[in-house]
A and B are shown apart, each in its own frame.
Chain A
Amino acid sequence: MKSRIFLLGLLILFLLLLPTFAGKYPLYMTIHILILSVFALGFNLLLGYTGLLSFGQAGFFAMGAYASAKILLVIPSLLLGAIAGMVAGGISALILGYLCVRHTRIYFSMLTLCFGMMIYSIAWKWRDVTGGDDGLVGIPRAPFQIPGVFSINMESMGNYYYFVLIISLIAIFILYRLVNSPFGLTLKGIRDSENRVSFAGISIRNYRLLSFTIAGLYAGLAGSMIPPLENTVTPPLAHWTHSAEPVMVTLLGGIHTFSGPIVGSILFYLIKDIIVRYTQYWLIWFGSIVVFLVLVFRGGIVIFFTERIWPLLSHRSPPP
Chain B
Amino acid sequence: MYLWLLAAGLTLVFGVLGVLNFAHGSLFMLGAYATFTFYGKLGINFWVSIALSLISVGIIGAILERLFIRRIYDIDLAYQLILTFGFILIFDDLVKIVWGGVAMIPPMPSFLEGNLSVLGRPYPIYNIFIIFAGLAVAVILWLVLEKTWWGRMIRASASDREMASAIGINIPILFTTVFVFAAMLAALGGALGTPVRVVAPGIGTAMIIQAFVITVIGGLGNLKGAFVGALIVGILTSFGILLFPVFELFIIFVVMAIVLMVKPEGLFAK
- Residues on A with C-beta less than 8 A from B261 are 99, 102, 111
**30 A-B pairs (CB sep. < 8 Å):** A106-B20, A107-B264, A109-B78, A109-B81, A110-B212, A110-B256, A111-B261, A113-B212, A114-B257, A115-B257, A117-B253, A118-B253, A121-B247, A121-B250, A121-B253, A126-B246, A240-B209, A244-B85, A248-B85, A282-B93, A283-B92, A284-B94, A287-B87, A289-B86, A290-B86, A291-B87, A291-B90, A294-B79, A294-B83, A294-B86
CA distance A244 to B20 in the complex (A): 15
B90 to A287, Cβ gap below 8 A? yes
Instruction: Name A287's closest neighbour in chain B (CB-CB).
Output: B89
Q: Which residues of A contact B72 (CB under 8 A)?
A: 294-295
> What is the CA–CA distance of A281 and B216 in the complex, to the nearest angstrom?
33
* B residues in contact with A106, CB < 8 Å: 20, 77, 220
Complex alpha-carbon distance, A107 and B220, angstroms:
10
- Additional 14 contacts, C-beta under 8 A, given A287-B93, A294-B83: A55-B81, A109-B78, A114-B256, A124-B249, A240-B205, A248-B85, A251-B82, A281-B97, A283-B89, A283-B92, A284-B93, A288-B86, A294-B72, A295-B72
User: Which residues of A234-256 are within 8 A (CB) of B?
Assistant: 240-241, 244, 247-248, 251
Judge whether A286 is part of the interface by a CB distance below 8 angstroms: yes
Determine which of A121, A126, A298 lies in contact with B79 in the assembled complex, contact meaning CB atoms within 8 Å: A298
Cβ–Cβ contact B77 & A109, under 8 A: yes
Contact with A along B226-270 (1 / 0, CB 8 A): 000000000000000000001101100110110011001000000
Tell me how far the C-beta of B15 lies from the nearest C-beta in chain A, rounded to whole angstroms: 13
A314 to B86, CA, bound (A): 35
User: Taking the complex as formed, is A2 at the interface, i.e. its CB lies under 8 A from any CB of chain B?
Assistant: no
Q: Which of A53, A114, A282, A291 is B260 in contact with, Cβ under 8 Å?
A: A114
CB of A103 closer than 8 Å to a CB of B: yes
- State whether the Cβ of A315 lies closer than 8 Å to any Cβ in chain B: no
Instruction: Please tell me if the beta carbons of B82 and A125 are within 8 angstroms of each other in the complex.
Output: no
Chain A residues within an 8 Å CB radius of B20: 106
Roughly how many angstroms separate A110 CA and B256 CA in the complex, as a whole number? 9
By a beta-carbon cutoff of 8 Å, the part of chain B in contact with chain A is: 20, 68, 71-72, 75, 77-79, 81-83, 85-90, 92-94, 96-97, 205, 209, 212-213, 216, 220, 246-247, 249-250, 253-254, 256-257, 260-261, 264
Instruction: Give the complex CA separation of A298 and B213 in angstroms.
Output: 29
Main secondary structure of the interface of B (DSSP, over half): helix
CB distance A121 to B256 under 8 Å?
A: no
In the complex, A312→B27 CA distance in Å? 44
Q: Does A15 lie at the interface of the complex (its beta carbon under 8 Å from any beta carbon of B)?
A: no
Q: Which residue of B lies closest to A55 (CB)?
A: B81
Q: How far is the CA of A251 from the CA of B87 in the complex (A)?
A: 16
**Is A290 within 8 A of B85, CB to CB?**
yes
Flag if B81 contacts A298 (CB, 8 Å).
Answer: no
Determine whether the beta carbon of B257 is less than 8 Å from that of A111: yes
- Give Cα A105 to B79, complex, Å: 12
Complex CA gap A110/B213 in Å reads 9
The residues in A between 279 and 317 inclusive whose CB is less than 8 angstroms from any CB of B are: 281-284, 286-291, 294-295, 298
CA distance A284 to B256 in the complex (A): 31
* 6 residue pairs, one from A and one from B, having the closest CB atoms: A287-B89, A290-B86, A284-B93, A287-B90, A121-B249, A294-B83
**A122 touches B (CB below 8 Å):** yes
A291 and B68: CB pair below 8 A?
Answer: yes
- Write out the residue numbers on chain A whose beta carbons fall within 8 Å of the beta carbon of B79: 251, 294, 298
Contact of A118 among B68, B77, B92, B250 (CB under 8 A): B250
Interface residues of A in 11-32 (CB under 8 A from B): none
Contacts of B81 in A (CB 8 A): 53, 55, 109, 247
Answer yes or no: A222 CB below 8 A from chain B CBs. Answer: no
Which partner residue on chain A sits nearest B80 by CB separation?
A294
CA distance A111 to B83 in the complex (A): 20
**A99 surroundings in chain B (CB, below 8 A):** 257, 261
Q: Which residues of chain A have C-beta atoms less than 8 A from B254's C-beta?
A: 118
Please give, as numbers and ranges, the residues of chain A lying within 8 Å of B71 by CB-CB distance. 295
Chain A CB within 10 Å, residue with most, of B77, B81, B89, B92:
B89
Contact A125 B249 (CB under 8 A): yes
Contact call A122/B82, Cβ cutoff below 8 A: no
Known: A107-B264, A111-B257, A111-B261. A288 touches B82 (CB 8 A): no
Q: With A117-B253, A121-B253, A125-B249 in contact, is A288–B90 under 8 Å at CB?
A: yes
CB atoms of A47 and B78 under 8 A apart: yes
Distance between Cα atoms of A283 and B71 in the complex (Å): 23
**Residue numbers in B under 8 Å from A248 (CB-CB):** 82, 85
Q: Are A290 and B94 in contact (CB under 8 A)?
A: no
Chain A's closest residue to B14 (CB) is: A106
CB of B269, distance to nearest CB on chain A (Å): 13
Which residues from chain B contact A53 at a C-beta distance below 8 Å?
A: 77-78, 81
B84 to chain A, nearest CB (A): 9
* A65–B78 CA distance with the chains assembled, in angstroms: 27
Given contacts A294-B79, A294-B83, contact A110 B216 (CB under 8 A): yes
For residue B238, give the distance in angstroms from its CB to the closest CB of chain A.
17
Interface string of A257-279 (1 = CB under 8 A from B): 00000000000000000000000
